[in-house]
Amino acid sequence: RRLDGSPFPMTSPSKPAGPLSTSGVAEPRRVSLATRFKALAYGAVFVVLTTLVLAVQWPTSGRYALTVGEVSPADIRAPRSIEYISDIATEEARQQAERRIADVYEPVRRVRSEQVDRARDIFALIDALRTDATMPAEQKIKAIQELPDIQLDIADIATILSLDDEAWARVKTETPGALNVILLGEIRDTTLAQARRRVPSYIDLRDDEEAAATIALVRALLKPNMLPNEERTQAARDDARNAIAPQTSQYAAGEIIVRAGDLLTARHIEALDKLDLYQPGLDWWKLGSAFLISIVLASIFGLYIFRPGSEELASPRRLSLLLALMVGFLLLAKLMVPDSTVLQYFFPLGALTMLIAALLGLPWMLLVTIYFGVVMGALASNPLPVITYAMVGAVVGALVVGRGERTSAFVRAGVAIALANVLVVAAFEMPFNTLDLTGHVQLFSAAVVNGALAASLTLIGFYFFGAIFDIATPLRLMELSRPNHPLLRDLVTKAPGTYHHSLLVSNLAEQAAEAIGADPFLTRVGAYYHDVGKIVRPHFFVENRAEGVDPHSQLDPWSSAQIIITHIKDGMELARKYKLPHRIRDFIAEHQGTGLVRYFYHEAQKIAGPEGVDEKDFRYPGPKPSSKETALLMLADSCESAVRASRPQSREEVDEIVRKIINQKLIEGELSESPMTLQDLEMVRQVFVRSLKGVHHPRVVYPEAARQPQIPSPNASGESPSLPPPADEAPLPAPVETPHAA
């Protein structure tokens, strides 16, 4: 529907409309297949590099790729004096302390009485077997062998069964007594065999067979009455382990760590590592873990890039900038963060986040901050304070610098980062106070220098990356907005009417951009340059012509239309010559879209008839506006020209003109490639009406000069409405007396 609520057709009589959604504007564009492939290629580089940084110790000169058990190829000396806490020596000392602690045993209750009772039960069973005359001897032996919790040899069982009743009675009397005496002492699982060997010394029987039977029974019934207590044993060993202080090792400069031909031990490898002489081999498990982490991080970026409507986010220019910045800071993090000294506190993550926030936006900044938080956590030896320090300063700096529209913003951001760094350092150091005065001075100095370094790198990178990747940074836009820019000076001197029109359009579009959340500064500067192509042939455009001079009167409509249309091509050539940013060139290329040069098209039809005119000869080549900013320029350009031409006398007349212009652009599909919504268009309409009513306010109308305001029909050219004819294409009659003065 139109903004006034009335329905409009989905096609225009002159050309098919663009792909409109049910809301009348473009559906969110999905990322194209080609762009997806490019983004995936960048993602592959991202994953590989992140994996290598996290998992691989990069080889450097002067390091030895050795392992425990290898033979040292040469005498290896300490390059400097060093004293360090040796994890290997500390662990060895603690293990020795643990081994010195014997197992803690505690008595088992009722073992003695239980075993004596068990002996009596066995005697009763044997008595029954001895008196059974019907059972064969083999079955009796087997029955005794199958008794639980007691093991007797066949020879001992045969001896027991062969004893006469008196001898057996003496065995039954002697066995519990000896068992009771022996179990009064401590018997452990480790001393059970020794106790069994001492059993004969407790037996007071003269007969050998009786003594042998008694010894066999006592040995079979003996069991430990002291068992180890694992919890108390481990607690004692833990106490002994914890009592060992960390062990230190030291080497003087030039002292030999390991001699040529010696087998390398874990202590040698540790010393080489502490002296930065060790080159570790590839850890495949660590590599796999790093790869999975990299995949997860890349997926987070991919989810953001490949959302519907994120075509601009996935542009090669943006991805190239993002990858270049992240690669540079990733390599820097690899060099600085693993160092356990104060060097890691100089890592200027804030410079990266400020650049990302200013050049690509806050969502990108948050993703990059999360990414580097994970990376630094994997690299740092003490990750929590380092991650907190870096991320807090980085986010604070990005929020303070904003879009970097003023140089002072970088100074404020640097101060904010320094203050945030100092607070984080104080928060982590105050509870522990592990450093001396010199250490505190170094740490707090690093925190302050980090802020200054981040601000300086950001300011330098702002200019450098803005130029390299053709990004319209706020500072670059500020330079372009100055009237002394060579191209604007040419516009003022060669096409003053166009320059004045551009100023009016820029004010109008900028206010609308602020209302709908677009980039107002970019919109203003883009409007300054959108018509610079008119410098080449300024007098063919009505706003630059002297009164009474009409060069179009000597040309046919086809030639006139091509001259009008060519100002887009001329503008692009000038933009390339003066190296205008890509985003500014979009305003030049898109501000007319694919609109029709309607006046000369109708003039041609008068000459050749409707069938003799090819509409393509009178259409701008496009492309259509692809951003909110360029779409605003198209609407502001058309509305300002139409209102200026018709000179309305009331707010209602201005409102009607603006509504017709916006609805016409919707019908013709000129907004089908932009992310504008109907809500945006309604806010734009209100801003345009309010602003245009203030600029083109009614004058005093005398009776003899009174006339009715003419409300023109909008066209697709963006220069002026179809009735009266567009400013770019109308021949010049008297500028006030006829509508062609538009």
Tokens read off for 508: 């109008």
pLDDT at res. 595: 92
**pLDDT confidence band for 581 (50 / 70 / 90):** very high
| Half-sphere exposure at residue 319, Cβ-oriented, CA atoms within 13 angstroms | 25
pTM above 0.85, yes or no: no
What are 132-186's pLDDT values in tens digits? 888 998 898 889 888 887 888 899 889 988 899 899 999 999 999 999 999 999 9
pLDDT at res. 3: 42
What's the CA gap between 632 and 718, in Å, rounded?
11
pLDDT at res. 535: 95
**pLDDT confidence band for 17 (50 / 70 / 90):** very low
Q: Mean pLDDT over residues 112-129, rounded?
A: 90
What's the CA gap between 490 and 479, in Å, rounded?
16
What's the CA gap between 189 and 687, in Å, rounded?
95
In 3D space, the residue among 281, 300, 274 whose CA is nearest the CA of residue 368 turns out to be 300
Radius of gyration (Cα) for the chain, nearest Å? 47
What are 296-326's pLDDT values in tens digits? 888 888 888 777 655 555 577 788 888 888 8
Which single residue is written with the structure tokens 């340059």? 529
Residue 544 has pLDDT above 60, yes or no: yes
Q: Which residue has the higher pLDDT, 56 or 366?
A: 366
Lowest-confidence segment of 424-438, 514-528, 532-546, 619-633 by average pLDDT: 424-438
What's the CA gap between 337 and 383, in Å, rounded?
9
Share of the chain above pLDDT 90, in %: 41
Q: Mean pLDDT over residues 397-403, rounded?
A: 89
Residue 592 has pLDDT above 90, yes or no: yes
**pLDDT confidence band for 611 (50 / 70 / 90):** confident
pLDDT at res. 308: 65
Q: Mean pLDDT over residues 194-219, rounded?
A: 90
pLDDT at res. 484: 94
Strand, helix or coil at 71?
strand
Tokens read off for 198: 């001492």
What are 324-362's pLDDT values in tens digits? 888 889 888 888 887 666 888 999 999 999 999 888 888
Residue 211 has pLDDT above 60, yes or no: yes
Lowest-confidence segment of 271-285, 363-377, 438-452, 630-644 by average pLDDT: 271-285
pLDDT at res. 429: 78
Q: Which residue has the higher pLDDT, 716 or 576?
A: 576
Lowest-confidence segment of 22-31, 130-139, 263-272, 511-520 by average pLDDT: 22-31
Q: Which residue has the higher pLDDT, 625 or 151?
A: 625
Q: Which residue has the higher pLDDT, 475 or 417?
A: 417
Q: Phi-psi bin for 593: left (phi > 0), alpha (psi -120 to 50), beta?
A: left
Tokens read off for 86: 């040796």
**pLDDT confidence band for 18 (50 / 70 / 90):** very low
What's the CA gap between 618 and 206, in Å, rounded?
137
Q: Phi and psi (nearest 5°) for 578? A: -95, 10
Q: Phi-psi bin for 647: left (phi > 0), alpha (psi -120 to 50), beta?
A: left
> What domains, with CATH codes, occur in the chain?
105-228 (no CATH), 315-471 (1.10.1760), 477-698+709-741 (1.10.3210)
What's the CA gap between 606 and 613, in Å, rounded?
10
Tokens read off for 515: 């209302």
In 3D space, the residue among 275, 279, 258 whose CA is nearest the CA of residue 73 turns out to be 258
Residue 13 has pLDDT above 60, yes or no: no
Q: Which residue has the higher pLDDT, 661 or 261?
A: 661
Beta strands in 72-184, from DSSP E residues, in sequence order: 76-77, 82-85, 105-107
pLDDT at res. 494: 94
DSSP structural state of residue 278? B
What's the CA gap between 328 and 324, in Å, rounded?
6
DSSP structural state of residue 191? T
Residue 737 has pLDDT above 80, yes or no: no
Lowest-confidence segment of 186-195, 368-377, 465-474, 733-742 by average pLDDT: 733-742
**How do strand 256-258 and strand 248-251 relate by DSSP bridges?**
unpaired
Q: Mean pLDDT over residues 101-130, rounded?
A: 89
Residue 586 has pLDDT above 70, yes or no: yes
Cα dist from 377 to 271, 353, 365, 386, whole Å: 25, 17, 18, 8
What are 488-506's pLDDT values in tens digits? 999 999 999 999 999 999 9
